Amino acid sequence: MAAAALDNLNPVVRERENVRRREEVPGLGSLASGAGPGTSAEDERELIDSIEVFEHIRDIADPEHPYSLEQLGVVSHEQIDVDDRGGKIEVRFTPTVAHCSMATLIGLCIRAKIMRVLPPRFKVKVELSKGSHSTEEAVNKQLNDKERVLAALENPNLLDLVNKCLAPTEC
């Protein structure tokens, strides 16, 4: 890692938060994606909530620091709103510094992760939390233009970066 290029040399690192976790069969948890969390098949479909979305994105690796987005305080479950029946997910994230050049890449990682694991019926909005970035409007516009997002994910270099950041979330 090129330490000289870091936007924030000394980020505040947080403890992993103890949010309510779902009962999961060890090793089978990720198989439930797409159909909602699986308990028993006869049960009514369990609603997807902000905790579940948080579970998916908390361990995304920061593009420049050896920490997760949760550890750096970039994402938290309070910054996620889910309306399961309305099919809406809204994620706000807060870069460690307001001039963070990685903000778009972080947002792209969050979007890619949600696209891969949650049902496509959800309309997803990923935005910087208000006032958290010097070019907030431009970053938000890019992250919510689906054509730009999908094109970015077909760019091999960008996709490689995204996959590296998502790797810790896939174990």
Partner 1 sequence: MACASTSGSSSSTESCVLAVLEGHRDRVWHVCWANAGDTIATCGGDRAIKLWRKTTQGDRKYQCVETLEKTHTKTIRRCGFSRCDSMLASVSFDATTCVWERPRGEQQHELLVTLEGHESEIKDLCWSQDGELLATCGRDKSIWIWLKEIDDQFECLDVLQGHTQDVKSVLFVPGTRALLSGSYDNTVRVWNEHDDEWVCTQTLDGAYQGHESTVWGLCCDAEGSRVLSCDAEGMILLWRVVRGDTEIALELVSRNMVPTKAALYSVDWSPSGLIATGMADNSISLLQAEKAEGSPEDPGASRQVLKLVKEIRGAHDGDVNCVRFNPKDPGVLASAGDDEVVKVWDVGALIQ
Closest CB to partner 1 among residues 47, 138: 138
Is residue 160 a contact residue for partner 1 (CB under 8 A)?
no
Is residue 167 a contact residue for partner 1 (CB under 8 A)?
no
CB of 111 to partner 1, least distance (A): 14
Closest CB to partner 1 among residues 48, 60: 48
Quick one: which of 147, 157, 160, 171 contacts partner 1 (CB under 8 A)? 147
The first and second tokens of residue 73, run together, are 């305080």
In this structure, what is the dihedral angle of CA atoms 111, 115, 121, 122, given to the nearest 10 degrees? -20
Is residue 121 a contact residue for partner 1 (CB under 8 A)?
yes
Closest CB to partner 1 among residues 20, 121: 121
CA angle 71, 171, 12 (to 5 degrees): 10
Closest CB to partner 1 among residues 150, 167: 150
Is residue 154 a contact residue for partner 1 (CB under 8 A)?
yes
In this structure, what is the dihedral angle of CA atoms 60, 152, 131, 17, given to the nearest 10 degrees? -10
Is residue 45 a contact residue for partner 1 (CB under 8 A)?
no
CB of 125 to partner 1, least distance (A): 11
- Strands across the sheet with 80-83, in order? 80-83, 88-93, 123-128
Q: Are 110 and 165 in contact (CB under 8 A)?
A: no
The residues near 128 (Cβ < 8 Å, ≥ 6 apart) are 92, 93, 94, 95, 103, 107, 136, 139, 140
Quick one: which of 36, 38, 136, 148 contacts partner 1 (CB under 8 A)? 148
Distance CA 53, CA 160 (A): 23
Per CB under 8 A, residues contacting partner 1 are 120-121, 123, 141, 145-148, 150-151, 154
